[in-house]
Amino acid sequence: MSTPKIDIRNVQKSFGTKRVLENVNLTVEKGQSMVILGGSGSGKSVLLRCLLGLLAPDNGKILVDGVDTTRLNEQQRMQFMRKFGMLFQSGALFDSLSNWENIGFMLTQQGVKPSKVRQTAIDKLALVGLEPRVADQKPAELSGGMRKRVALARAICMEPEIILYDEPTTGLDPITSDVINDLILKLKEDLGVTSVTITHNMNSAFKIADRIAMLYMGKIIANGTVKEIKTSDNPYVTQFVNGLAQGPIKVGQR
Ligand SMILES: Nc1ncnc2c1ncn2[C@@H]1O[C@H](COP(=O)(O)OP(=O)(O)O)[C@@H](O)[C@H]1O
Ligand SMILES: [Mg+2]
Tens digit of each residue's pLDDT (9 = 90 or more) over 242-254: 877 667 776 555 4
**Is the Cβ–Cβ distance between 215 and 226 less than 8 Å?**
no
Nearest CA to ligand 1 atom 7: 15
pTM: 0.90
Residue numbers in the chain where pLDDT is lower than 50: 254
The alpha carbon of 207 and the centre of ligand 2 are apart by a number of angstroms equal to 20
Q: What was the pLDDT predicted at 10?
A: 96
Q: β-pairing, 18-28 with 33-37?
A: unpaired
Q: What was the pLDDT predicted at 70?
A: 83
Determine whether domain 1-83+161-254 maps to CATH 3.40.50.300. yes
φ, ψ dihedrals at 121, nearest 5°: -60, -40
Q: Where in the chain is the domain with CATH 3.40.50.300?
A: 1-83+161-254
Q: What was the pLDDT predicted at 65?
A: 93
Q: What was the pLDDT predicted at 91?
A: 67
Per-residue pLDDT tens digits for 81-94: 889 999 987 768 89
Q: What was the pLDDT predicted at 252?
A: 56
What are residue 215's DSSP bridge partners? 220
Among 12, 15, 219, 254, which is best to mutate for testing ligand 1, by the most ligand atoms less than 8 A from CB?
A: 15
Q: What was the pLDDT predicted at 43?
A: 92
Q: What was the pLDDT predicted at 104?
A: 95
Task: Provide the CA 103 distance to its chain's centre, in angstroms.
Answer: 17
Q: In what order do the strands lie in the sheet with 211-216?
A: 67-68, 59-64, 6-15, 18-28, 219-225, 211-216, 33-37, 194-198, 162-166, 84-87
Q: What was the pLDDT predicted at 240?
A: 86
